[in-house]
Amino acid sequence: MEKIIVEKKVLSENDKLAAEIRTELTSQGILALNFVSSPGSGKTSLLENTLKSIGDKLKIALIAGDVQTENDANRLIAAGGKNVFPLVTGGSCHLDAKMIDKILPKINLDELDLLIIENVGNLVCPSSYDLGEDMKVALISTTEGHDKPLKYPGMFRRSSIMIINKIDLLGTSDFSVDEVKKNARQINANLKFFETSCRTGTGLEMWFHWLLNEIKTKKNRV
Amino acid sequence: MEKIIVEKKVLSENDKLAAEIRTELTSQGILALNFVSSPGSGKTSLLENTLKSIGDKLKIALIAGDVQTENDANRLIAAGGKNVFPLVTGGSCHLDAKMIDKILPKINLDELDLLIIENVGNLVCPSSYDLGEDMKVALISTTEGHDKPLKYPGMFRRSSIMIINKIDLLGTSDFSVDEVKKNARQINANLKFFETSCRTGTGLEMWFHWLLNEIKTKKNRV
């Protein structure tokens, strides 16, 4: 009971701070996306591709969260990321608003178009922590099994986008795109889907197109 | 700070109960394994194969943990599991000793050879919770990236076995078995490795052989 009360307090403090971050970013017309998935679903690969293809057209800042190592941050820098901030949690299973709030003063928000937060690879805990993002983007890879939205409903309920990645590996298991979409819609009827392969490039153009459009829409609201 | 103190108290209570569970199981010569991995690495597939191949020779009880759904428990029953207990956490990111302690009275421990606990798919949180097992068995699939032991060190430090699964999908990414072993050994020099494919059957015989031997060794200690 004591643990539950403390957790509720932590979450409500987190939500308050996240709301402040959202207000700040929104006032400057910056789109903020929080990328979540299992370990190894391809978050970093998708972001590498995004930087390489449309990175030159945009001012992007990236916060790369991991329990240990700065491997993802280094990959994003190698892919052309100019404002990459590693965020090593040192054991914590998720990012929280306080961690983002500490990094924000280091980022030049003037004329920034997009803030990308790559969360810790974990389909459970990061779902409970609002980071001030506009949307959570959940990745699922075709090697993981199409029942995952039903088994980890919190994450898919709180996400706006679901990217079905490693589409080139369809056929190597009984994973069905139709089934995963059906399962995900049971949890969240408003999910928007993309089907991508970061290895072959399949579907990435549609993702870039959507992203550029969202950035424009957010800017125009200021 | 308040949160940290409460968490430490919860963990120390958990460890005490886990030690009691371990004493009880050990006194009866029952081997207990705690299977951990990312979502979709193949824990249930490995257990299905294990039940089908050596399930008739053994008395096995299985506790199938999931955040939501009894999908895994149903798969294990369909694979021949006779003592399968679903454990739906309803949101919690890991199993704990209290959950196991509640189920144990429902299991007939007389002449039981093996207790298998399939944890929630999560490479972070389950590493902190001792369930009274003899060993944690960590699965990693070849589609996840070979830097995972470095990024989630807690899990690989506290595991005794590392099963590299989906070995049939080698070559579809830059995943290297040598690299993943090298990275894992950096975290835990005592890890024992298996390389398996639940789809083609590669490496499963070695896993069954090891498992049967461990069960025998545990029985002989009583």
A74 at interface of B, judged by CB pairs closer than 8 A: no
Distance CA A204, CA A214 (A): 15
pLDDT, tens only, A118-167: 999 999 999 999 999 999 999 999 999 999 999 999 999 999 999 999 99
Q: What is the mean pLDDT of residues B199-205?
A: 98
Chain A: residue nearest B145 by CA? Answer: A40
CB A124 within 8 A of CB A156: no
pLDDT higher than 70, residue A2: no
Structural domain that includes position A56: 2-220
Query: How high is the pLDDT of residue A8?
Result: 77
Residues of chain B contacting residue A145, judged by C-beta atoms under 8 Å apart: 39-40
B10 at interface of A, judged by CB pairs closer than 8 A: yes
A71 at interface of B, judged by CB pairs closer than 8 A: yes
- Residues 32-51, chain A: which have Cβ within 8 Å of B? 38-40
Q: How many domains does chain A have?
A: 1
Would you place residue B84 in the very low, low, confident or very high pLDDT band (cuts 50, 70, 90)?
very high
pLDDT higher than 60, residue B1: no
Beta partners for residue B83, in sequence order: B61
Q: Distance (Å) from the C-alpha of residue B161 to the closest C-alpha of chain A?
A: 19
Residues of chain B contacting residue A40, judged by C-beta atoms under 8 Å apart: 38, 141, 143-145, 148
Q: Distance (Å) from the C-alpha of residue B40 to the closest C-alpha of chain A?
A: 4
Query: How high is the pLDDT of residue A213?
Result: 98
Residues 6+ apart with CB under 8 A from A105: none
Residues 6+ apart with CB under 8 A from A182: none
- Is B150 in contact with A69 (Cβ distance < 8 A)? yes
A136 at interface of B, judged by CB pairs closer than 8 A: no
Q: Distance (Å) from the C-alpha of residue B146 to the closest C-alpha of chain A?
A: 9
Query: How high is the pLDDT of residue A3?
Result: 62
Q: What is the mean pLDDT of residues B34-60?
A: 97
Would you place residue A201 in the very low, low, confident or very high pLDDT band (cuts 50, 70, 90)?
very high
- Is B2 in contact with A3 (Cβ distance < 8 A)? no
- Is A6 in contact with B3 (Cβ distance < 8 A)? yes
Q: Which structure tokens are listed for A27?
A: 């006032």
pLDDT, tens only, B149-163: 999 999 999 999 999
How much is the pTM? 0.95
Alpha helices in A71-166 (DSSP H): 71-78, 97-103, 148-151, 153-157
B96 at interface of A, judged by CB pairs closer than 8 A: no
- What share of chain B has pLDDT > 70, as a percent? 98
CATH number at residue B58: 3.40.50.300
pLDDT, tens only, B131-188: 999 999 999 999 999 999 999 999 999 999 999 999 999 999 999 999 999 999 999 9
B202 at interface of A, judged by CB pairs closer than 8 A: no
CB B40 within 8 A of CB A37: no
Residues of chain B contacting residue A144, judged by C-beta atoms under 8 Å apart: 39-40
Distance CA A89, CA A99 (A): 9
- Is B148 in contact with A10 (Cβ distance < 8 A)? no
Q: Distance (Å) from the C-alpha of residue A81 to the closest C-alpha of chain B?
A: 21
More confident residue, B1 or B66: B66
- Is A93 in contact with B93 (Cβ distance < 8 A)? yes
B151 at interface of A, judged by CB pairs closer than 8 A: yes
Nearest to B38 among A6, A7, A40 (CB): A40
pLDDT, tens only, A31-81: 999 999 999 999 999 999 999 999 999 999 999 999 999 999 999 999 999
B145 at interface of A, judged by CB pairs closer than 8 A: yes
Would you place residue A10 in the very low, low, confident or very high pLDDT band (cuts 50, 70, 90)?
confident
Nearest to A40 by CA among A194, A160, A137, A166: A166
Q: Distance (Å) from the C-alpha of residue B132 to the closest C-alpha of chain A?
A: 22
Q: Long-range CB contacts (< 8 A, 24+ apart) of A75-81?
A: A75/A44, A75/A48, A76/A44, A76/A47, A76/A48, A76/A51, A76/A118, A78/A48, A79/A47, A79/A48, A79/A49, A79/A51, A79/A52, A79/A55, A80/A51, A80/A52, A80/A55, A80/A56, A81/A47, A81/A51, A81/A55
